[in-house]
Amino acid sequence: MEHAALDLSLDSAALTARLVDIPSVSGTEGPLADAIEQALRKLPHLTVDRHGNNVVARTHLGRAERVVLAGHIDTVPIADNVPSRLDDEGVLWGCGTSDMKSGVAVQLRIAATVPSPNRDLTFVFYDNEEVAADLNGLGHIARTHPDWLAGDFAVLLEPTDGEVEGGCQGTLRVILRTEGERAHSARGWMGSNAIHAAAPILARLAAYEPRRPVIDGLEYREGLNAVRVSGGVAGNVVPDECAVTVNFRYAPDRTPEEALAHVREVFEGCGVAEMIVDDHSPGALPGLSHPAAAAFMAAVGGTARPKFGWTDVSRFSALGVPAVNYGPGDPLYAHKRDEHVIASRIPHCEERLRAWLTA
Amino acid sequence: MEHAALDLSLDSAALTARLVDIPSVSGTEGPLADAIEQALRKLPHLTVDRHGNNVVARTHLGRAERVVLAGHIDTVPIADNVPSRLDDEGVLWGCGTSDMKSGVAVQLRIAATVPSPNRDLTFVFYDNEEVAADLNGLGHIARTHPDWLAGDFAVLLEPTDGEVEGGCQGTLRVILRTEGERAHSARGWMGSNAIHAAAPILARLAAYEPRRPVIDGLEYREGLNAVRVSGGVAGNVVPDECAVTVNFRYAPDRTPEEALAHVREVFEGCGVAEMIVDDHSPGALPGLSHPAAAAFMAAVGGTARPKFGWTDVSRFSALGVPAVNYGPGDPLYAHKRDEHVIASRIPHCEERLRAWLTA
């Protein structure tokens, strides 16, 4: 299907509607990436790079600082909610209105209307955020062109209902195995019970006191939870194996190595036969003490909240770029059939960013 | 298939071979039950009753005591090991030689050759022992004609390699459920972890000190084991449910009610949300202090061993009849393709019983 070129002189709410009307379910972002690339290439103050369906545009003004504005261009599957529809009360309905084509519209508007920002700017538009982590376009750029993502501070325009969500916690999942010796339960003394051997592990978990560290003024809350336990051979057999899967959600002042070392320490002396790392995604520091971030907070107002769940800001953090989420959409309506955004919030968000980048 | 009538004047090893040659895999015991019934009905000192493929024969001599000799007539499926074969070294091979047609042959020989025993005798031949408990012929008789099983002491001629195995332990299986509240593991404090709630249960199990009570001179060994544990919703969810399945093997000095009360007491205060009885089979007292049993032990010699696993002697115990296992077969070869019995052990067992019942 042919789409008219994107007109970046539209206001950001109208531009959001245009973006929604170019479908871009994960894996089918080509037409939208094309439209974004074409629109950006018309802007003489930007260089534009493309990798697959990921588009990166940058100023090169020699400013002391560089900030990154990033957003994914894909959506979850359409649910009878495309094309977009603006109702009489100023609510824009449609797939991606909140998550996160309204944020992408703000990126494009800043790119088009702030040719001489006080900080060098990098705009990142990436694909496949809504699907498996290994497909994520931001991850692909980070691996293939990490220099494209260089910067002092990054803002992901994910839906946050206009609040700043700083950094994110890391998540580590490990499997703790205990061993025993199989025997008929009528002669239990002939064996050794691997489920009983897991008792100290559960006791440590039950007694664990999670930290609540304050980082850049944000209070994080760690947590160490068993998310699965399994063991047993048959109703009359002393089992020789048991496994407790533990999920450690950790504040971003711990490195992945420190997080793993902490978990090892917690279960020291618990008779763990083997500890297997099942999954590990590091956290991301909010970086709110950086001058660019402080100026950002002053411009957008409000109080930043810590992000407990894992998000793509962590990918910037892994590259040494502190990052926050800040966008016009309401996360409660993301991925829903009745996804929508209050249209007036979109230019509001745009103005806050413009104020920050032109002060 | 027509089978020649059973000739009870054969020696017990030859008679075993004849019994093996009448196949009686569980569910197909009819021809063998017919042959046994016909042979017993020729003996004027016995009354004979039949229920399905279960045959019971009794003397009515007005003796002070009555003992029961019982055996199942079914076998596991045939594995190219019928008809029977006696080799040059006096080993009789074939399906059921050990478990337990050699024992049934001894029963039949005693029935035929001891017309005036010192104790009234009851001979029980029952079906479906090798399959599901609810099909077991001894259980059927116990429910429909418990008077047929009345007695002061019972001997099951199961293979014990010529040793007496007294009574048996009971087995109780319960499921201990813990509850919590589901939450995303990134916000674990919003929920409550049901796996952590199981920590006190595993701690009690790990610390449990089983009894080793001596009953009628036999040392039993109890055991309390987790045989299964399961909990978990997903890798990022605080689980709201966990279940530990526990198997209590208990000595026969506890009644089923006492066993259940004991398990309740062990897990008192452990935060168990629900305790479900999954399976319960009571134990059986060895009853070796009874005069008939003492005379039996004196006649057969050796030292009785406790039976840790659950056996059909428990069905007699439930009717108030202490019971032991004692038979010529070797239990190590039961259910095996190379099942066999040393032929000379069969008349040996027969002679020991005859000595007891004619002294």
**Nearest residue in B to A207, CA atom:** B196
Q: Which residue, B289, B321, B305, B348, is CA-closest to B122?
A: B321
Can you give the three-state secondary structure of B280-326, one letter per residue? EECCECCCCCCHHHHHHHHHHCCCCEECCCCCCHHHHHHCCCCEEEC
Rounded to 10 degrees, what is the CA torsion of B267, B270, B272, B277? Answer: -10
* Residue B298 CB-density burial (10 A; 0-12 exposed, 13-18 middle, 19+ buried): exposed
- What residues contact B23, with CB distance under 8 A and at least 6 apart? B31, B32, B75, B78, B82, B95
Is A239's Cβ below 8 Å from some Cβ in B? yes
CA distance A198 to chain B (A): 7
Q: Quote the pTM value.
A: 0.79
B contact test, residue of A178, A201, A212, A228 with most B CBs within 10 A = A228
Q: Catalytic annotation on B179?
A: no
Cross-strand bridge partners of residue A214: A219
* Residue A273 CB-density burial (10 A; 0-12 exposed, 13-18 middle, 19+ buried): middle
Q: Give the ipTM.
A: 0.79
CA distance B173 to chain A (A): 8
Helix (H) or strand (E) holding A157: none
Partners of A249 on chain B (C-beta within 8 Å) are: 185-186, 188
Catalytically annotated residues of A: 74, 129
Distances (CA, A) of A316 to A90, A150, A325, A331: 34, 9, 12, 21
331-350 of A, contacting B, C-beta below 8 A: none
Residue B267 identity: F
- Between CA A21 and CA A17 the distance in angstroms is 6
Is A305's Cβ below 8 Å from some Cβ in B? no
Question: Which of the following is catalytic: B29, B37, B127, B129?
Answer: B129
DSSP state of A168: B
Q: What is the pLDDT along chain A (359 residues), one digit of tens a residue?
A: 556 799 999 999 999 999 999 999 999 999 999 999 999 999 999 999 999 999 999 999 999 999 999 999 999 999 899 999 999 999 999 999 999 999 999 999 999 999 999 999 999 999 999 887 789 999 999 999 999 999 999 999 999 988 899 888 999 999 999 999 998 898 899 999 999 999 999 999 999 999 999 998 899 999 999 999 999 988 888 999 999 999 999 999 999 999 999 999 999 999 999 999 998 988 988 888 888 888 999 988 888 888 888 889 999 988 989 889 999 998 888 888 899 999 999 999 999 999 999 98
Helix (H) or strand (E) holding B203: helix B199-207
DSSP state of A98: I
What the block records as the tokens of A192 is 């050794």
- Between CA A253 and CA A77 the distance in angstroms is 36
Q: Do residue A227 and residue B242 have CB atoms under 8 angstroms apart?
A: no
Contact yes or no for A193/B163 (Cβ under 8 A): no
- Domains of chain B, each with CATH number or no CATH: 12-167+284-358 (3.40.630.10), 170-281 (3.30.70.360)
Q: Do residue A232 and residue B234 have CB atoms under 8 angstroms apart?
A: no
Q: Catalytic annotation on B129?
A: yes
The number of C-beta contacts closer than 8 angstroms across A and B is 167
- Between CA B285 and CA B279 the distance in angstroms is 20
